[in-house]
Amino acid sequence: MIFIIGGIFVLYFYHLIVTSLIFLAAGLYSFISLFQYIDRISRDLKRFMSSIKYSDFNQTNLFKNFGSMYTELYKSISDTYNELSSNRILVEENLHYLNTLIQQIPSGIISFKENGDVELINSAAKNILGVESLANINSIKENKDYFKSLFQYTLIGKEVIIKFQQGNKSKNISVFKSNFKLRNNLYTLITLKDMENELEKERLENELHIAQNVQTSLLPKAIPTYNNYDISVLFKPAKKVGGDFYDFFDLGKNKLGIIIGDVSGKGLGAAIYTTLLKGIFQTLAFECASTIELLTKANSLIYQMLDKKSFITAIYAILDTEANTLVFSRAGHEPLLVYENEKSAFCSYKQKGLGIGLEKGKVLKDNLEEKIVIINEKDIILFYTDGLTDLKNYSGIDNSLDKFKNIIAVNNANSLTDLTGKLENEINIYIEKFDQYDDVTTILIRRKF
């Protein structure tokens, strides 16, 4: 009996030991499997991180078949991978955008390592140095000693003007040098400017400043006022200075002369012609009985002075504030628009007319036509230059004039000051996204009663 009990005890104890060993072995195997898995993930993540620059994220191995006990770990790794993949694409897009910007910069930019290997060179730098490509700064065959002194011995943070001989031509080049560290590598950044281009740029900027001052000084100092008419003007000059101009002439007997025009071309030349035009129109406005006579005589005076590549478009109008009529002629200018309050619609007046300065006068006179418009109560007259019609909407469709007409139609009961402000806001929306290529000028006139 004792032997039987002892045998059972030994058998139970042996079974317990075996069972423990089995659990221990299973636990050890699980630990080893987990360790190997984590080790593999660690190695793959390390390899993944080191291959971000070179690898294609579409080729991956994320160990998807490790059982339910590893689901959360796999999900965490997968989420990390997806985030890194998304970030890499974003970084690459940003780098591409940055590189595109650098290539457009007018100053030359070169970045290279301590051994001379060039990491970045933009188009302007290639043009200034006269090279098609540059892998290493020491690989330039011509002027090698010069380039060594230029790139290696120029003081950090100091601008130096160096005369650079390239073939039979010499250039004065501004050189600015700086250093920076990236990924434990020391880089040198060189900025180059062709001083001839810089001087030309400075000359053009000075000329532009003069043209802007001339253009601004020619504008009327005050807007005419009448009991039964409101007048509002919007003038937004382009950065490059266009040739827009406008003026008002008090002709007496409740009559107001109005001129609006545009000189072809930009810059100082357009500003000079605008100066001449102001004097000519001011003189002729008080001498000429009709709008056709004024434009014809103006053409005779301007034709001899004007560059043969230039011409002028204009509308000259006479507003009779007592008879409530507008008499006008257009010399190749944009149509006159009248918002007729009773019809709640615009009427466009585009009678024939030729630009000023294109020929001596006979053809112009034969192609001018005078029009009389009756201005009813609350009607709105719109004079404008082609800068308004040149504005494009965001899709690139040239329907900007329709948008401005709609603003006037919807807000026709508002004050002209408010209406002009809404037009300007719409223009500003465009300018925030696109360059303003040309001046924009509008004159709004409304009969109150």
Q: Yes or no: say if 328 and 336 are a contact pair by the CB < 8 Å rule.
A: yes
Give the mean model confidence (pLDDT) for residues 22-42: 45
DSSP H helix total and E strand total for the chain: 11, 15
Q: Which pLDDT score is estimated for 259?
A: 97
Give the integer Cα–Cα distance in Å for 410 and 92. 47
- Which band of pLDDT confidence, cut at 50, 70 and 90, is reported for residue 197? low
- Is residue 167 located within the same domain as residue 256? no
- Is residue 271 located within the same domain as residue 238? yes
Per-residue pLDDT of 367-400, as tens digits, reads 999 999 999 999 999 999 998 888 764 445 556 7
> Which has more confidence, 244 or 97?
244
> Which has more confidence, 141 or 118?
118
> Which has more confidence, 161 or 420?
420
- Is residue 243 located within the same domain as residue 341? yes
- Is residue 172 located within the same domain as residue 225? no
Count of structural domains, the chain: 2
Residue 242 sits in a domain whose CATH number is 3.60.40.10
Q: Which pLDDT score is estimated for 409?
A: 96
Residue 72 inside a domain? The answer is no
Give the integer Cα–Cα distance in Å for 290 and 316. 10
Over 90: is that where the pLDDT of 281 sits? Answer: yes
The label of the residue with tokens 């109560």 reads 377
CA dihedral 302, 308, 309, 310 (to 10 degrees): 0
- Is residue 178 located within the same domain as residue 259? no
Which of 330, 337, 320 has the alpha carbon at shortest distance from 381? Answer: 337
The predicted model scores a pTM of: 0.58
Q: Which pLDDT score is estimated for 28?
A: 40
Residue 80 inside a domain? The answer is no
Give the integer Cα–Cα distance in Å for 365 and 28. 106
Q: Yes or no: say if 209 and 194 are a contact pair by the CB < 8 Å rule.
A: no
- Is residue 183 located within the same domain as residue 285? no
Q: Which pLDDT score is estimated for 8?
A: 44
Residue 81 inside a domain? The answer is no
- Is residue 246 located within the same domain as residue 348? yes
Range in 13-22, 269-278, 281-290, 420-429 with the lowest mean pLDDT: 13-22
Range in 161-165, 192-196, 335-339, 406-410 with the lowest mean pLDDT: 161-165
Name the token pair of 112: 């290279």
Residue 30 inside a domain? The answer is no
Which of 300, 358, 294 has the alpha carbon at shortest distance from 329? Answer: 294
Q: Yes or no: say if 299 and 356 are a contact pair by the CB < 8 Å rule.
A: yes
Give the mean model confidence (pLDDT) for residues 101-115: 77
Hey, which of 151-160, 235-244, 251-260 has the most confident mean pLDDT? 251-260
Over 80: is that where the pLDDT of 154 sits? Answer: no
- Is residue 249 located within the same domain as residue 347? yes
Residue 118 inside a domain? The answer is yes
Q: Which pLDDT score is estimated for 76?
A: 61
- Which band of pLDDT confidence, cut at 50, 70 and 90, is reported for residue 218? confident
Q: Yes or no: say if 235 and 439 are a contact pair by the CB < 8 Å rule.
A: yes
Kindly report the backbone phi and psi dihedral angles of residue 250, in degrees, each rounded to the nearest multiple of 5, phi listed first: -80, 105
- Is residue 313 located within the same domain as residue 374? yes
The label of the residue with tokens 């002028």 reads 312
Q: Which pLDDT score is estimated for 111?
A: 82
Per-residue pLDDT of 288-331, as tens digits, reads 999 999 999 999 988 888 877 789 999 999 999 999 999 999 99
In the chain, the percentage of residues whose pLDDT exceeds 70 is 63
Domain that holds residue 166: 102-200
Residue 117 sits in a domain whose CATH number is 3.30.450.20
- Is residue 307 located within the same domain as residue 440? yes
Q: Yes or no: say if 401 and 440 are a contact pair by the CB < 8 Å rule.
A: no
Residue 48 inside a domain? The answer is no
- Is residue 238 located within the same domain as residue 373? yes
Range in 40-44, 154-158, 283-287, 320-324 with the lowest mean pLDDT: 40-44
Burial letters 413-444, b for 16+ CB under 10 A, else e: eeebeebbeebeebbeebeeeeebebbbbbbb
Taking the mean position of all CA atoms in its chain, how far away is CA 104?
13
Residue 50 inside a domain? The answer is no
| Mean residue pLDDT across the chain | 76
Give the mean model confidence (pLDDT) for residues 336-345: 97
- Is residue 277 located within the same domain as residue 178? no
Which of 367, 218, 226 has the alpha carbon at shortest distance from 295? Answer: 367
Residue 254 inside a domain? The answer is yes
